Amino acid sequence: MLKKVNVPLDPQHSFSLRIDYSPRLHNLWHYHHEVECIFILKGKGTHFIGDSVKNFGPGDLILVKDQTPHYWSFDEEYIGKDEDKLIEVYALHFSPELLGEGFLKLPEHSKIEQLFKDLEYNLTIHPDLTHTVKIFNTINTGPNSNRVMKLIELLIHLGASPKEKLCSQHYVFGHQKKEQKRISNIIEYLRLNYKRRITLTEVSNFAGMTPNSFCRFFKSNTGKTFIEFINLMRIQYAEKLLKETELSIKEIAYEAGFTNPVNFHKVFKKTYRQSPLNYKKQTNHAQEDKHIIK
CATH of the domain at 215: 1.10.10.60
Return the sign of the alpha-carbon dihedral for residues 153, 159, 161, 163: positive
pLDDT tier for residue 104 given thresholds of 50, 70 and 90: confident
Averaged over 20-26, what is the pLDDT?
78
Q: Cβ contacts of residue 224 below 8 Å, gap of 6+?
A: 51, 168, 218, 232
> Same domain for 32 and 157?
yes
Percent of all residues in the chain with a pLDDT value above 70, rounded to a whole number: 88
Write down the pTM of the prediction.
0.82
User: Number of structural domains, the chain?
Assistant: 2
| 135 closest CA partner among 119, 116, 158, 118 | 158
> Same domain for 275 and 153?
no
For 63, the domain range is: 3-165
CB 86 within 8 A of CB 21: yes
On whether residue 112 sits in a domain, the answer given is yes
> Same domain for 15 and 135?
yes
How far CA 67 is from CA of 2, 13, 197, 201, in Å, comes to: 12, 21, 32, 31
Query: What local confidence, expressed as pLDDT, does residue 289 receive?
Result: 47
Q: What is the CATH number of the domain that holds 88?
A: 2.60.120.280
How far CA 285 is from CA of 10, 41, 243, 274, 292, in Å, comes to: 48, 24, 11, 16, 10
Listed residues 165, 197, 222: the one ending a domain? 165
On whether residue 42 sits in a domain, the answer given is yes
| 61 closest CA partner among 21, 88, 90, 87 | 90
> Same domain for 149 and 244?
no
> Same domain for 17 and 143?
yes
> Same domain for 152 and 198?
no
DSSP assignment letter at 107: G
